[in-house]
Amino acid sequence: MPIITPAKAQLEYDVAIIGSGAGGGQMAYTLTLAGIKCVMLEAGRSYDPQTETPMFMTGSQAPLRGAGTPDKDFGFYDATIDGGWDVPGEPYTQASSKKEEQFWWWRARMMGGRTNHWGRISLRNGPYDFKPRSRDGLGFDWPVTYAEIDPYYTKVEMLIGVYGTNSGMENTPDSPEGVLLPAPKARLSELVSQKFGKKLGIPFMPIHRAVLTKPLDWLNIPKKLHPGNQWAQKIVADSMMRRAPCFWATDCGRGCSISANYQSTTVHLPPALATGNLDIIPNAHAREVLVNDEGKATGVLFIDKTTGKEERIKAKAVVIAASSGETVRILLNSKGGKGIANSSGLVGRYIMDTVGTKVTGHVPILENVPPHNEEGAGGSHTYAPWWGYKDQAAGKLDFARGYHIEMGGSRSMPIGNNPVPDDLVRGSYGKKFKQDMRRYYGSIVSYACRGEMIPNEKSYCELDPQVKDKWGIPSLRWHWGWSEHELNQAAHARRTFTDLIESMGGTVRHDKTEAARDYIEPGGKIIHEVGGAIMGADAKTSVCNGWNQTWDVKNLLICDGSPFASNADKNPTLTIMALAWRAADHLIEQAKQGNL
């Protein structure tokens, strides 16, 4: 596997890719299978899910029984290494001291980025989601339509493997027949939510997640993904064959050593490396995209973190997929800090996250349920897509756009934390306490709002005039603000989830006097950071065109969430991959025509 040091790098590559997550991984996959020579720069260390994933490890085998700490924010066994809310030596700043104006910036620093531990929820944007401004006058339209992206959604779903069912619901697209893998059976709390949700008009149904509920059809899928390219088909078939289906145990957030779920490191990078067309340089922190006098990208200036020295790599085209904040930072730091691709002045503008708020409830009918295995596919099985389009059209709602509901039941593996809230046991101890714990375990449900944020002028990032990281690279400074749309949406979600829990005879576990500003999650907290280099129809009002290409630097592509012109309630990653695949196809086409 050509994972190399800078000294081993070739003199020049066709394409340099910054970042190895969902966007970078998809670019490397598509380009190398088309015969294009790529180098990938990844700021984090190399990572091998097969040997490093703590699949069946238990809390009692970990420090602090596996509880989360600032070193491992999401628990000891979470797949994240070296990344998190804080990255030592790499500070970022907030322009305001007010909490509601701050952005939580979660950063990955490892091969495969956030895809090693992400939730694997893989939803398509719908037709409305690409033309939101045309529908309600807010935010921006994308320069692409659903019909243009649809075939790429299908390709990505076939490649990574996504379970779920077609819902037929408004603006919640179906996949072509046979593309989705079978949905796993619903868990108890999910069925109960579905039953009571129905009475309130909330449609709980199977979610879509990138987990193999059966082996991928490696005989046929590669032919569909790479028609006419038998060499690519063989490589992809080999790689698909190596992925085992889910064995219905272990938390996907730890990663998957049998490659049953999607991680860039198990799905995108292995076939890309197998082509022989990819060199990966880990510990390579990109600082600037190099541009020549004609304004074309010529390569990347990066820090070799193993030596602390600056290195350069030459390429005919450059792809950035370092996650919105970091992508913005690289663009603004390029040309010695003058910035590139920014004639519009919009680099860093319109950063979006997802509207998040969560309601937890204690539901007595779920007490004392006979023990049974609910691990399933290591994450969510059930969700409710946004069901309010009709009410919205009828003017009944005080916010634009929608949210979907992600839910949690609680028969999951106890690890690191008390699995039952302290107050429920009413002061018991001894035998009584142990009986109480058994009684209440599994009786807690939670519903999370995942809603659309409309891009606004208050939410952006820029270079901090003073603060630099440990290599002397200027850091980012964040600005944030919600509009009434997001706050009203969070309030609607809170009311809805409260009604749902109370309809089950349950009690919500929050203070009902709080205002939306108190319970909306802070910006960035949902870690669906997109925007910052939005795509649009013209160079004055956007940074990228509809092919993820920057208007100003034609051979520079941005293939993470930065080009998103809106942030639908649908989690962003499937769309990042679909757009990246399409952008790669376009780049290949241009290369063929000698346009690079």
Partner 1 sequence: MTSPSDFTPLFSRRQVIQMFAAVSASFGITPQANAATVGVADTFAKGYGTDPTLTKLYKPGDVWPLTLNAEQLRTVTALCDLILPADDLGPAASAVGVPQFMDEWISAPYPLQQEDNPVLLEGIAWLNTEASKRFSKSFAELDAPQQATIADDICHITMAKPEFREAAQFFERFRSRAAAGYYSTQEGWKAIGFVGNITSATFDGPPAEVLKLLDVEQTVK
Ligand X SMILES: Cc1cc2nc3c(=O)[nH]c(=O)nc-3n(C[C@H](O)[C@H](O)[C@H](O)COP(=O)(O)OP(=O)(O)OC[C@H]3O[C@@H](n4cnc5c(N)ncnc54)[C@H](O)[C@@H]3O)c2cc1C
Q: What residue ranges bind ligand X (CB under 6 A)?
A: 18-24, 41-44, 106, 108-110, 113-115, 117-121, 284-286, 321-323, 326, 330, 527-528, 560-561, 571-573, 576
Which CB, 49 or 197, lies closer to ligand SF4?
A: 49
38-41 vs 460-468, strand pairing mode:
unpaired
CB 91, min distance to partner 1, A:
15
Question: Which H or E element spans position 12?
Answer: strand 12-18
Asked if 71 is part of the footprint of partner 1 (rule: CB under 8 A), the reply reads yes
Report the C-alpha gap between 152 and 161 in whole angstroms.
Answer: 13
What is the Cα gyration radius of the chain? 23
Q: Is the dihedral of CA 62, 64, 66, 70 positive or negative?
A: negative
Burial classification of residue 509, based on how many CB atoms lie within 10 Å of its CB (0-12 exposed, 13-18 middle, 19 or more buried): middle
Window 369 to 428, contacts with partner 1 (CB under 8 A): 369-377, 381, 411-420, 422-423, 426-428
What's the rounded Cα separation, in Å, for the pair 91 and 470? 9
How many Cα atoms within 13 Å fall on the side-chain side of residue 193?
32
Tokens for 326, please give them: 């970091």
Q: How far is the CB of 21 from partner 1 (least distance, A)?
A: 18
- Only one of the segments 24-32, 215-223, 468-476, 580-588 lies at the binding site for partner 1 (rule: CB under 8 A); that segment is 215-223
Does residue number 203 form part of the binding site for partner 1 (CB under 8 A)? no
261 Cβ contact list (under 8 Å, min separation 6): 120, 209, 210, 211, 212, 246, 252, 378
Which of ligand SF4, ligand X, partner 1, none does residue 434 bind (CB under 5 to 8 Å by kind)? partner 1
**With CB cut-offs between 5 and 8 Å by kind, which of partner 1, ligand SF4, ligand X, none does residue 427 bind?**
partner 1
CB of 301 to partner 1, least distance (A): 26
Instruction: Give the footprint of ligand SF4 on this chain (CB under 6 A).
Output: 211, 246-247, 249-250, 252, 256, 258, 260-261, 377-378
Give the nearest distance from C-beta 500 to partner 1 in angstroms: 15
Please tell me whether residue 91 binds partner 1 under the rule CB under 8 A: no
Could you say which of ligand SF4, ligand X, partner 1, none residue 378 binds, taking C-beta under 5 to 8 angstroms by partner kind?
ligand SF4
Do residues 288 and 329 make contact, with C-beta atoms less than 8 angstroms apart? no
Structure tokens at 42: 């990844």
Stretch that binds partner 1, among 135-143, 184-192, 284-292, 330-338 (CB under 8 A): 184-192
Q: Which does 431 bind (CB under 5 to 8 A by kind): ligand X, ligand SF4, partner 1, none?
A: partner 1
CB of 203 to partner 1, least distance (A): 11
Per partner kind, with CB cut-offs from 5 to 8 A, the member of ligand X, partner 1, ligand SF4, none near residue 252 is ligand SF4
* Collapsed DSSP state (helix, strand, coil) of residue 69: strand
Q: Which does 159 bind (CB under 5 to 8 A by kind): partner 1, ligand X, ligand SF4, none?
A: none
Residue 19 interacts with, from ligand X, partner 1, ligand SF4, none (CB under 5-8 Å by kind): ligand X
Q: Does the protein bind partner 1 through residue 220 (CB under 8 A)? A: yes
Which of ligand X, partner 1, ligand SF4, none does residue 217 bind (CB under 5 to 8 Å by kind)? partner 1
Q: What's the closest the beta carbon of residue 261 comes to ligand SF4, in angstroms?
A: 4
Residue 511 contacts partner 1 per CB under 8 A = no
- Contact between 233 and partner 1 by CB under 8 A: the answer reads no
Find the shortest distance in angstroms from Cβ 572 to ligand X: 5
Which is nearest to 317 in space by CA: 343, 345, 298? 298
Long-range contacts, 473-477 (Cβ 8 Å, 24+)? 473/285, 473/287, 473/303, 473/329, 473/333, 474/329, 474/332, 474/333, 474/337, 475/90, 475/91, 475/92, 475/93, 475/329, 476/92, 476/93, 476/105, 476/325, 476/328, 476/329, 477/92, 477/93, 477/94, 477/95
Residue 561 binds which entry of ligand X, ligand SF4, partner 1, none, CB below 5-8 Å type-dependent: ligand X
Q: How far is the CB of 263 from ligand SF4 (least distance, A)?
A: 10
Q: Which one of the spans 431-439, 485-493, 519-527, 530-538 is the region binding partner 1 (CB under 8 A)?
A: 431-439
**199 in contact with partner 1 (CB under 8 A):** no
Element (H or E) spanning 321, and its range?
A: none
Q: How far is the CB of 267 from ligand SF4 (least distance, A)?
A: 12
CB of 63 to ligand SF4, least distance (A): 22
- Could you tell me the CA-to-CA distances from 553 to 255, 287, 318, 326 in Å, in that order? 36, 17, 10, 18
Q: Which amino acid is at 480?
A: W
CB-nearer residue toward ligand X: 187 or 285: 285
| Residue 330 φ/ψ, nearest 5 degrees | -65, -45
Q: Which token pair is 73?
A: 């924010």
| DSSP sequence for 146-184 | HHHHHHHHHHHHHHH--B------TTSPPPPTT-SBPPP
Contacted by 261, from ligand SF4, ligand X, partner 1, none: CB < 5 to 8 Å by type: ligand SF4
